[in-house]
Structure 1
Amino acid sequence: MSPTPTNKKAVDTARKSAEALAHKALQARVSLVGAIGEAQASAQEILDQREVLLAKHAQELESLDAEHARAEDTIKTAYDTAISGGWTARELTDMATRRRRRRRRLVDRSRPPPKQRPRPHRPHHRITPVNSPAAPVPTTKSPASFAEQRSS
């Protein structure tokens, strides 16, 4: 049985409506996948920037290491010159030690104070024999009942 012309029109309309709904649902799902792609691209861009920054700082560190090596050579040369000028190694060491200590104190002052440890909890009332957990439990017997127990 083939669809009649009016029935065919209704079938086509229903088909187009169903396809439109399917496209709409797929579009919503596609946009969700698109968001994943955007996030991945953003993450990759950040990683690329990180690599560039690491390379730049590696070059700066190499430069600083070379400067430090030159400074160490200058110290050694100055030390040797002082020794040849009549200073003793002990005298130079004592002066350098005093100077280093002074500098360390300044560095220590620039540090933030250490975190204080929390104090242990202390109860607001003192524990006495009356309110301690091991204190005897008071009885509710009357003095007359005590007298009866003694006499019996």
Structure 2
Amino acid sequence: MTDQVGPGTITTTTTAKPSRLVAAIAIVVLLSFGSFVAFMVIHRDASEVSWTRMAWLFSSVEAIAFGAAGAIFGSSIQRQRAETAEQQARTSADEAARGRALAETLKADDPATAPSDGLESLGAEEDRTASRHAAIARKLFP
């Protein structure tokens, strides 16, 4: 959740973490999976029928264990990605605001639209440059 008061303000971010219960269940599942792997290693000399049944059961337990690992590690990876994306969005918003401010300044400095209030001109070359910059600003920020 992001609370943004206005441009240039600091935002506070809270991300969802897996609950303690979910994390505890995931850890128990992973420990159980490790125990089952040890059981399989110990009983590697079992008959072919027993081994086939254990291997079939192992594949089901393995899928559950990988889901538990995904719950633990996936949430932290997603949290990091979300925080990075939020930081990039804040940076881009700040840069866009500065770009719009620069564009408005360039538009205001255009000699063609500036009021003639008796001030002397900077010169023909500077006027052309200011006009060109104002035209670019109008094109990029209509």
Question: TM-score category by the smaller chain?
Answer: 0.3 to 0.5
TM-score by length of 1: 0.37
The one of the two structures with greater contact order (alpha-carbon pairs below 8 A, sep at least 6) is 2
**Rg comparison, structure with higher value:** 1
